[in-house]
């Protein structure tokens, strides 16, 4: 990876007795993600069993190593050399696109009405806008398997709800700002709900655990109520659960 | 798998407000948004296991604020470390930082905090629970781990299993120097972080030279500190991974030290990172408790942690 003197990036920042923060970029961009995923793989290979945890996010990778085995400076030197030789992972083949079926319906997507009101678009147009775009997973966080994806078309941008819901149903497809996501399990949440997916986003018994991984390309595929039910979806209206 | 017939149980008569099972924590899966968990006070948890000869990582109970009552269905060797929560054994006061024997039919009770916030109860061989994603650490928010595997805290009539074992030859105590006085003001070692330069000089000076008070907003996710506001030239950042002990500063200037159940990513500028033992000490501070931040170098902090871990 080329060093950019203007921004001082990439840069290593101390994050405690067992961690370095690797800062690669200074702005959110879908083009960041092949670099981020390449760096995660490189760290896994270079640190092996001494890698305790690694947290990729929009512009950074947080690397936790075993502080009983490695010195801070040692890890710093290792990461510096990794960065010097880093090349982006080539992604972009259609095979790697993950598709999430979504039933877009006001009963499970109460903020569809708000979007219609704000944009003046028909329901069909909103569904089309949300589902024709391909998104990148920037980070997982907030809850196990919750994927922050972007970037949402500007027309669909809404602020978070001023009062978060206490109980957002599992599978709820949501958006806030220029990002979209789906809630893996029932949880509190302040994003705008526009539909529901029957996909199992987080399964502690599966090998991958989380259906979506950082760097993935994702597309939402509209399905009707019958298909949603056939795929195992729960049609209980949002407001009866919240 | 331990045979059922060889298991003994502690029955939960009263669960207390928040009693959870904790091993060292859940690692290797944080990239998926899965919280670390583990004992908020690593120091007391580790010594409780040490008293019984349990290896590092053995699951023990974290008892928050007391209120817990357990009845032994079989004899067992236990150890208690950390906060003084007014523990009694069949009504007789029970000292902290030591191992002891609980006989079948006897009751172990915890009343209210006398000093500190969290006590750790270990059993010889450890409490039995099925690991979830490699750990039994109970994280209620993630609905993972704990004695039932689903992130639930203890509740009435739960039974906590352990392998039946013989009597330990002697009752042990933790070395006196390690029996911390939680009533004293806490000095918390902090490794300054990369954004430290974004804070104004005078507010930074005050942060390290004035006392902070622990706020009522303090739990396993994080502890908010009240004091002279830190002024930062950055308001927010793009969300990124956050380490245990990261001290993040929201725009109101009142820092939050992030503990075991913190979310995996966050977007506030950070003053730096508390050492693991500073996190442990902070976890014993009740609201209103006075704490001081002391800057430390990473090498010194690593050495301190290695000396701590060498005990176990």
Reported as a single tens digit per residue, the pLDDT across A120-130 is 999 999 999 99
What pLDDT is stored for residue B169 in this prediction?
A: 62
- CA-based nearest residue in chain A for residue B307: A68
Q: How many CB pairs under 8 A join A and B?
A: 132
Chain A residues lying within 8 Å of B299, measured CB to CB: 71-72
| pLDDT at A91 exceeding the cut of 80 | no
Chain B residues lying within 8 Å of A67, measured CB to CB: 302, 305-306
Does the beta-carbon distance from B132 to A204 stay under 8 Å?
yes
Eight-class DSSP state of A151: P
- The pLDDT tens digits along chain B (312 residues) read 445 568 999 999 999 999 999 999 999 999 999 999 999 999 999 999 999 999 999 999 999 999 999 999 999 999 999 999 999 999 999 999 999 999 999 999 999 999 999 999 999 999 999 999 999 999 999 999 999 999 999 999 999 999 998 876 678 999 999 999 999 999 999 999 989 999 999 999 999 999 999 999 999 999 999 999 999 998 778 999 999 999 999 999 999 999 999 999 998 999 999 999 999 999 999 999 999 999 999 999 999 999 999 999
> What gap in Å lies between CA A185 and CA A192, rounded to an integer?
16
Of A44-48, A136-140, A236-240, B81-85, the poorest mean pLDDT is in A236-240
What pLDDT is stored for residue A128 in this prediction?
A: 97
Eight-class DSSP state of A171: T
Closest CA to A79 of A7, A8, A14, A5: A14
> Mean of the per-residue pLDDT values for chain A?
94
Closest CA to B180 of B280, B93, B54, B94: B280
| pLDDT at A95 exceeding the cut of 70 | no
Min Cα–Cα distance to chain B from A230, Å: 27
Q: Which of A9, A14, A15 to mutate to test the interface with B (most CBs of B within 10 A)?
A: A15
Strand partners, A89: none
For A88, the token pair is 């982006």
Phi, psi of A193 (to 5 degrees): -95, 130
Angle at B153 between CA B150 and CA B158, to 5 degrees: 90
Min Cα–Cα distance to chain B from A125, Å: 30
- One DSSP character per residue, B26-39 reads --S-GGGT------
Tell me if residue A116 falls in helix, strand or coil: helix
Asked whether the beta carbons of B222 and B258 are under 8 A apart, the reply is yes
What pLDDT is stored for residue B102 in this prediction?
A: 96
Q: Which of B33, B141, B194 is facing A140, going by the closest CB pair?
A: B33
Chain B residues lying within 8 Å of A72, measured CB to CB: 298-299, 302
pTM greater than 0.80: yes
Chain A residues lying within 8 Å of B302, measured CB to CB: 17, 67, 71-72
Mean pLDDT of A90-96: 61
Q: Which of A144, A177, A183 to mutate to test the interface with B (most CBs of B within 10 A)?
A: A144
- Confidence class for position A4, pLDDT limits 50, 70, 90: confident
Asked whether the beta carbons of B62 and B100 are under 8 A apart, the reply is no
Does the beta-carbon distance from B241 to A16 stay under 8 Å?
no
Q: How far is CA B91 from CA B10, B109, B110, B280, in A?
A: 17, 8, 10, 29
Contact of B33 with chain A, judged by CB distance below 8 Å, is answered with yes
ipTM of the complex: 0.96
Crossing angle for the helix pair B298-310 and A72-84, to the nearest 10 degrees: 120
Min Cα–Cα distance to chain B from A124, Å: 33
Tell me if residue A222 falls in helix, strand or coil: strand
Residues of A with CB under 8 A from a CB of B: 11, 13-19, 21, 23, 27-28, 40, 52-62, 64, 67-68, 71-72, 139-146, 148, 185, 202, 204, 209-210, 213-214
What pLDDT is stored for residue A192 in this prediction?
A: 97
Percent of chain A with pLDDT over 70: 97
Min Cα–Cα distance to chain A from B211, Å: 22
> What gap in Å lies between CA A188 and CA A238, rounded to an integer?
13
pLDDT, one tens digit per residue, over B180-236 is: 999 999 999 999 998 999 999 999 999 999 999 999 999 999 999 999 999 999 877
For B275, the token pair is 């050492």
Chain B residues lying within 8 Å of A62, measured CB to CB: 240-243
Chain B residues lying within 8 Å of A15, measured CB to CB: 193, 241, 243, 246, 273
Chain B residues lying within 8 Å of A48, measured CB to CB: none
pLDDT, one tens digit per residue, over A28-50 is: 999 999 999 999 999 999 999 99
Min Cα–Cα distance to chain B from A146, Å: 7
| pLDDT at A5 exceeding the cut of 90 | no
- One DSSP character per residue, chain B reads ---GGGEEEEEEEEE-SEEEEE-S---S-GGGT------SSHHHHHHHHHHTTPPTT--EEEEESS-EEEEESS-EEEEEEEEE---EETTEE--SSEEEEE-TT-EEE--S-SEEEEEEEEETT-B----BTTB---BTTTTBBSSSSBSPPP-TT-EEEEE-----SS--B--GGGS--TTSPEEEEEEE-GGGGGB-HHHHHHHHHS-EEEEEEESSSEEEEESSPP-BS------EE--TTEEE--TTS--EEE-TT--SEE-S-EEEEE-HHHHHHHTTPPTT-EEEEEE--HHHHHHHHHHHHHT-
């Amino acid at each position: 990876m080329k060093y950019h003197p203007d921004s001082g990036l990439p840069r290593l920042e101390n994050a405690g007795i067992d961690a370095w923060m690797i800062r690669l970029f200074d702005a959110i961009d879908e083009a960041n993600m092949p670099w981020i995923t390449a760096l995660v793989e490189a760290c896994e290979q270079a640190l092996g069993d001494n890698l305790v945890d690694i947290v990729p996010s929009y512009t950074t990778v947080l690397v936790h190593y075993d502080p009983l085995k490695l010195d801070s400076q040692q890890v710093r030197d290792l990461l510096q050399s990794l960065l010097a030789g880093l090349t982006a992972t080539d992604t972009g083949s259609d095979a790697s696109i993950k598709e999430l079926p979504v039933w877009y319906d006001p009963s499970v997507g109460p903020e569809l009405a708000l979007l219609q009101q704000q944009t003046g678009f028909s329901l069909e147009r909103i569904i089309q806008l949300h589902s024709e775009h391909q998104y990148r997973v920037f980070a997982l966080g907030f809850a196990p398997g919750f994927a922050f994806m972007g970037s949402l078309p500007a027309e669909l941008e809404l602020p978070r709800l001023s009062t978060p819901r206490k109980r957002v149903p599992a599978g709820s497809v949501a958006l806030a700002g220029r990002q979209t996501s789906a809630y893996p399990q029932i949880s509190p949440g302040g994003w705008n709900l526009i539909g529901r997916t029957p996909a199992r986003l987080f399964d502690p018994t599966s090998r991958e655990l989380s259906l979506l991984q950082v760097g993935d390309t994702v597309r939402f595929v509209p399905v009707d109520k019958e298909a949603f039910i056939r795929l195992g979806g729960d049609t209980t209206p949002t407001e009866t659960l919240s | 798998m331990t045979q059922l017939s060889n298991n003994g149980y502690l029955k939960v008569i009263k669960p207390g407000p928040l009693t959870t099972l904790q091993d060292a924590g859940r690692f290797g899966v944080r990239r998926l948004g899965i919280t670390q968990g583990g004992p908020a006070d690593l120091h007391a948890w580790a010594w409780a296991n040490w008293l019984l000869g349990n290896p590092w990582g053995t699951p023990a109970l974290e008892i928050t604020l007391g209120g817990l009552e357990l009845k032994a269905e079989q004899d067992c060797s236990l150890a208690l470390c950390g906060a003084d929560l007014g523990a009694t054994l069949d009504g007789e006061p029970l000292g902290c930082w030591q191992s002891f024997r609980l006989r079948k039919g006897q009751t172990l009770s915890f009343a209210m905090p006398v000093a500190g916030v969290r006590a750790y109860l270990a059993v010889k061989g450890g409490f039995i629970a099925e690991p979830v994603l490699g750990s039994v650490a109970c994280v209620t928010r993630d609905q993972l781990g704990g004695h039932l595997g689903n992130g639930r805290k203890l509740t009435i009539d739960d039974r906590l299993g352990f392998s039946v074992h013989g009597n330990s030859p002697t009752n042990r105590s933790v070395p006196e120097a390690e029996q911390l006085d939680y009533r004293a003001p806490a000095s918390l070692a902090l490794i300054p972080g990369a954004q430290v330069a974004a804070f104004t000089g005078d507010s930074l000076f005050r942060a390290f030279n004035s006392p902070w008070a622990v706020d009522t907003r303090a739990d396993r996710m994080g502890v908010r500190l009240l004091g002279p506001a830190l002024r930062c030239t950055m308001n927010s950042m793009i969300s990124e991974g956050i380490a245990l002990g990261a001290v993040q500063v929201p725009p109101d200037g009142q820092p939050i030290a992030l503990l075991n159940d913190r979310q995996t990513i966050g977007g506030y500028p950070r003053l730096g990172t508390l050492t693991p033992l500073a996190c442990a000490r902070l976890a014993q501070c009740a609201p209103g408790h006075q704490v001081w931040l002391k800057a430390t170098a990473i090498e010194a902090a690593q050495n301190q942690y290695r000396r701590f871990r060498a005990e176990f």
